[in-house]
Amino acid sequence: MKKAAEIRNEKMGKNIFLTAHIHMITPCRLSPPCKYCSISSNLVQIRRERYSLTMEEIKERVKIALRSKEITSITLVGGSDLRGHDQLLLNIVKEIRRITNIELAVDIGAPISVNTLEKLKENNVTTIYSSLETANEIVFRDAKPGDSLEKRIKLMEDLDDLGMNIGTIIMNGLGTMDDVHYTINFLRKFKNLKYLYFSTFSPVNGTPWEKKERASILDTLKFIEASRELFQKVHIGLADVEIESGSISDLVEKELEVGAGNTFAGMLMYKNRFIDYTDRMLKLEMSGYHIMRRNELDS
């Protein structure tokens, strides 16, 4: 733990960046949906939490994020479609750019065409997530029968070729611990990997995997620690999906102890839910960290 934190402090410093996550900007059209996702729940009250936002709702949430000077970027999160969401995504980014030039990241799955990636790059979309969850094809196919690992890897390869930042998520609880380590090592091939987050499987009522055993958050923290030595300048942390796994905001100090950093969720915005962590994150400044403000980036 101590060594991992020392590497993070030496290579990345103790500045912390907060991002606002806006869910869901695009609908999920995977058929069948992933077995662990709340979208696959047969309970409407759970499934509706992941309903897509209208354009006006997206812009409204962007404006809310901008009220906080501690929010330095926005991550647009949406559902996947194996036919692509390219035009819808470009329209959304175009509308947001009428409001602000804040740094944007996009996480909607694959595919995204190279032409669209180039246009996103022109609009200061600096990071695209291609969340593998696992690089084990057999485990991926079991958990995500309607998705394509091949397309997600292709997206990462295209991002590398374009020199764009890559983000991804690995899920602890899909397959074995060896599968997680395999996926961590698989990612070493991508030179532009900048964000690596770990989610922890938690069963969601009404889904095909509602009776599957919950994964250990302690094991997930160990994966963060192990990854720090391999990816010394990568932002590493716990993935926060409030409506599925509950809040992990109380674990940020523990994340930092095991070498995580330096980008964390400051806000989570859903169709019917809004969580603001910024005040809690500001308390980290009493421990020697510094929460960056947008005006500091401008200067």
Q: In the chain, what are the domain boundaries?
A: 2-298
Contacts of 57 (CB under 8 A, 6+ apart): 271
Q: Is it the case that residue 271 has pLDDT exceeding 70?
A: yes
Lowest mean pLDDT among 44-53, 127-136, 242-251, 260-269: 242-251
Task: Please give the average per-residue pLDDT across 267-295, as a whole number.
Answer: 93
pLDDT tens-digit map of 30-46: 999 999 999 999 999 88
What is the rounded radius of gyration, in angstroms, for the C-alpha atoms of the chain? Answer: 18
Phi, psi torsion values for 47, nearest 5 degrees: -65, -35
Read off the pLDDT of residues 169-194 as tens digits, 9 standing for 90 and up: 999 999 999 999 999 999 999 999 99
Mean pLDDT of the residues in the chain? 94
Q: How confident is the model at residue 48 (pLDDT cuts 50, 70, 90)?
A: confident
| pTM of the predicted structure, to 2 decimals | 0.95
Stretch 56-64: mean pLDDT, rounded?
98
Judged against a pLDDT cut of 60, whether residue 245 lies above it is answered with no
Two tokens, residue 209 = 């995997």
Contact between 276 and 71 (Cβ < 8 Å): no
Q: How far apart are CA 258 and CA 226, in angstroms?
A: 9
Task: State the Cα–Cα distance between residues 119 and 116, nearest whole angstrom.
Answer: 5
CA angle (221, 184, 182) in 5-degree steps: 115
Alpha carbon separation from 193 to 3, 78, 158, 174, 189 (Å, rounded):
22, 20, 12, 22, 9
CATH class of 2-298: alpha beta
pLDDT at 247: 58
Angstrom distance (rounded) from CA 90 to CA 197: 25
> 107 burial class (0-12, 13-18, 19+ CB within 10 angstroms)?
buried
Q: Is the pLDDT of residue 234 over 60?
A: yes
Find, among 239, 241, 250, the residue nearest to 273 by Cα.
Answer: 241
